[in-house]
Chain A
Amino acid sequence: MNVLIVEDEKGLALEVDEFLSHEGFTVEHARTKKSASEKIFVNNYDFILLDLGLPDGDGFDLLKMLKGMNNREDAVIILTARGAVDDRVSGLEQGADDYLAKPFSLNELLARMHAITRRKHRLESNDINVKGLKINIQNRTVTYNDERIALTKKEFEIFNYLVLNKNRVISRTNLTEHVWGDVLEINSDSNFVDVHVKNLRKKLSAYIPIDWFETVRSIGYRINI
């Protein structure tokens, strides 16, 4: 899958590029509105990561241009340091698929991209298989041999996020932010996410051994598949 990063901050673009390339994406850069519009005009992308504050104009214009073109399926994720609620609302209203406020976690970005892919392309059967557990994103359920495991909304979110970011240590901070959103003053350091993970592990281990669901001491969790 190919991604266009429209971002004037070179350092950030390079890091996102490195991360996404590592994940198997083909990545291109555009640092200005002008070069971005040229690239969008010539190529189809699976994802366009769009910064709103570009040196030669507003990223919203690119979104408008894209929406005016026929037969384009490019998913747009707005990345902005403006953070204002208004931007978020108008971004989604104008047809962006998602919105991430800077600074964002690359894992979070990846999870959002996966979610969009599933939504857009209705991948395979929508189910992800983890050691015999079937995760259905649409229905937000986990089943084992067609038997539904009763997970709470948050437990499901945690499990799904860890699976999406499999084989990588996900810190509590990252996990908290993903599940609870960017709530001011709620803090990461507190271990209340642990309570949910503990319950989640208990529920899963009732069905299969979960030695692949690892607790990384003082940092967070990792699912090894």
Chain B
Amino acid sequence: MKLQVKLALYNTLTKLAIILFTGLLILLSIEKISYDHVELRLEENERETLRNLNSKEINSKLTNQKPYTDFNILKEEFITIKPVKFEPTVTKNASFTTETRTNESVTQTYRILTHQFNFNNHTYLLEIGVSITSIEELKSIIKRFTLLTLLIALALTLVSDLIFTKFLLAPFYKIIDRKLIKVNDPMNFDYEKVKTTTQDFELLDDSISTLMKKISNLFSLEKQFIANVSHELLTPISIISSRLENILLQEELSEASENKMHASLKTLNRLKSIINSLLLISKVENNQYDKADVVMIAGAIMEIEEELEDRLEEKHLTFNNNIKYIYSIMGNRPLMHTLLFNLINNAIKYNKPKGSITVADELKEDVYILEITDTGAGMDQQQIENAFNRFEKFETEEKESYGLGLAIVKSITAFHGIRVKIDSVKEKGTSIFLIFNRE
């Protein structure tokens, strides 16, 4: 869940709790206050009634042992006095209950005071009731009002919190997006500050920038180092190779020395290849190439097939191009060429004579898979695990292999975000899968 949403939810929940609590408090206190008030009135009425027992009207009823009942016009108050079974001693205390009574077809809720008293050697039950329907109504109005306030407050706070936190956190998300997610190359880092008044975000922004500066300094140092190494190593090789070539021009050279010169030139060439391969890997790993070309996979495979035609013929290999889809990626054309060239070249190198190489592809929902299968020597599990290590080589009929081909493949695939999978059976052959994510 996003921080923004979490904050808004938290605020909403706390407000909800506060409003609920206040609502309940108000409800309970209103009940308490109004009941107290009603009870005071009832007690007063009781005293008044008892004082008036001797009044003519009541007295006549009571002496006849008949109940006495009286209402006011709106039936909001009533009073009844009923004779009950005689008890010599009666409880002095009055008690209060809440009941619903129907008096002359009007049903109302009353707070009722009940009191037994003795009068003229008879026991009577006095009930004085006051309608509390209005109080109940008030309670329900307050309940509804509280609920409504609750809902409105809930909606308002949720919206306002979302808006405010969005505004508050905007610089934070901007920093994350611009300085972390979109950066895949520290050399092109955007050092412009994200505008914010929040100190913590400023700190975050500054820290990321400082970190990036350090990384990009290291990168450029490494770049510089690679450039220097390449110059410092390739120049002497160049001098020696030119010198050997010049010696070869001398007429008086014996055949044996001539052979040695050529052998030395070949060794130098090997040295050059190794340096160039390592340089290529370093440059790729340092992001010194761009990805601005549209590379058609099928086209690239066809080009390589043409280039390697003679090698295929030499080993009498069958090349099956089963590519069905026209799939292209944004990448670096020379690097993609090198990648596919190395893989197909390996498929030739480690193949058995009269074997075959099959290139096929598959288009799935989210990935495009290119498969290069040979019928060669194959690898066991251990070999597959080590395949991408630098200077790892396998037995091959060709003497010169530097074991850098797959290391180059690894760096180029990583650079382009392509996954590589190897399936291999010893003595049967190897399948290499290049898995491209579809954007």
- Do A and B originate from a single complex? yes
Which of A81, A169, A218 is most buried by chain B, counting CB atoms within 10 A of its CB?
A: A81
Contact A102 B235 (CB under 8 A): yes
Chain B residue numbers with a CB within 8 Å of A212 are none
| A173-B310 Cα distance, complex, nearest whole Å | 16
Q: Which of A18, A177, A185, A219 contacts B246 (CB 8 A)?
A: A18
Q: Do A189 and B400 touch (CB < 8 A)?
A: yes
Interface centre among B238, B342, B404, B405 (most CB of A within 10 A): B238
Q: Establish whether residues B400 and A12, one from each chain, have CB atoms under 8 Å apart when the complex forms.
A: no
Q: Which residues does chain B contribute within 8 Å of A182, judged by CB atoms?
A: 276
Contacts A81-B238, A183-B341: A220 and B262 contacting too (C-beta < 8 A)? yes
Among the listed A9, A16, A173, A184, which residue makes an inter-chain contact with B265, where contact means beta carbons less than 8 Å apart? Answer: A173
Distance between Cα atoms of A85 and B290 in the complex (Å)? 11
Question: Quick one: which of A103, A188, A196 contacts B241, CB cutoff 8 A?
Answer: A103
Q: Mark B234-253, 1 if CB is under 8 A from A, else 0.
A: 11011101110110110000
Are A185 and B408 CB-contacts (below 8 A) given A104-B238, A106-B245, A169-B258?
yes
- What is the size, in residues, of chain A's interface with B at 8 Å between Cβ atoms? 45
Per-residue contact bits, chain A 155-193, to B (CB 8 Å; 1 contact, 0 not): 000000000000011010110010010111111111110
- The reply to whether the CB of B280 lies closer than 8 angstroms to some CB of chain A is yes
Q: Which of B157-165, B174-182, B267-275 contacts A (4 or more CB under 8 A)?
A: B267-275
| A192–B279 CA distance with the chains assembled, in angstroms | 27
Closest to A182 in B: B276
B388 interface residue (CB < 8 Å to A):
no
Question: Which of A107, A184, A186 is within 8 Å of B408, CB to CB?
Answer: A184
**Contact indicator A185/B245 (Cβ below 8 Å):** no
Measured CB to CB, the closest approach of chain A to B19, in angstroms, equals: 67
Interface range, B side? 35 or more
- Picked from A83, A103, A106, A185, the residue with its CB within 8 Å of the CB of B279 is A83
Of B243, B262, B405, which one neighbours A219 at CB under 8 angstroms?
A: B262
Provide the bound-state CA to CA distance between A9 and B240, in Å. 12
Bound-state CA distance A11–B404 (Å) is 31
Closest to B405 in A: A185
Taken residue by residue from 198 to 219, chain A's Cβ proximity to chain B (1 for < 8 Å, 0 otherwise) reads as 0000000000000000000011
**With A184-B273, A184-B276 as contacts: A189 and B398 at CB distance below 8 Å:** yes
Complex Cα distance, B307 from A105, in Å, reads 22
Query: In the bound complex, how far is the Cα of B289 from the Cα of A218, in angstroms?
Result: 39
B321-352, CB under 8 A of A: which get 1 and which 0?
00000000000001000100110010000000
Distance (whole angstroms) from the CB of A168 to the closest CB of chain B? 7
Closest-CB distance, A205 to chain B (whole angstroms)? 20
Which residues in A have their C-beta under 8 angstroms from that of B237? Answer: 102-103
Most buried by A among B246, B334, B341, B405: B246
Q: Are A19 and B400 in contact (CB under 8 A)?
A: no
Chain B residues lying within 8 Å of A196, measured Cβ to Cβ, are 310
**CA of A16 to CA of B242, assembled, Å:** 7
Question: Across the interface, which residues of B come within 8 angstroms of A85, CB to CB?
Answer: 289, 334
Name A82's contact: one of B230, B238, B341, B342 (CB within 8 Å): B230
Contact residue among A15, A83, A180 (Cβ-Cβ distance under 8 Å from B276)? A83
- Tell whether, in the assembled complex, residue B273 and residue A19 are in contact, meaning their CB atoms are under 8 Å apart: no
Residues of A within 8 A of B279 (CB): 83
A186 and B404 CA atoms in complex are apart in Å by 11
Specify which of B227, B230, B242, B259 lies most central, judged by the most chain A CB atoms within 10 Å of its CB.
Answer: B242
CA distance A22 to B248 in the complex (A): 12
> Given that A9-B239, A103-B237, A218-B259 are known contacts, is A185 also in contact with B402, CB under 8 Å in the complex?
yes
Given A81-B238, A185-B405, A219:B227 Cβ within 8 A: no
A189 smallest CB distance to B (angstroms): 4
What are 24 A-B residue pairs whose CB atoms fall within 8 Å in the complex? A12-B238, A15-B239, A16-B242, A18-B246, A82-B231, A83-B234, A83-B279, A84-B288, A102-B238, A103-B238, A103-B242, A103-B268, A103-B272, A106-B245, A154-B310, A168-B248, A171-B262, A171-B266, A182-B276, A185-B277, A191-B314, A192-B311, A195-B310, A195-B313
9 nearest interchain CB pairs? A103-B238, A15-B242, A81-B234, A102-B238, A11-B239, A189-B400, A187-B400, A81-B231, A103-B237
Given A16-B242, A103-B242, 5 extra CB contacts under 8 A: A19-B249, A103-B241, A171-B265, A184-B342, A189-B266
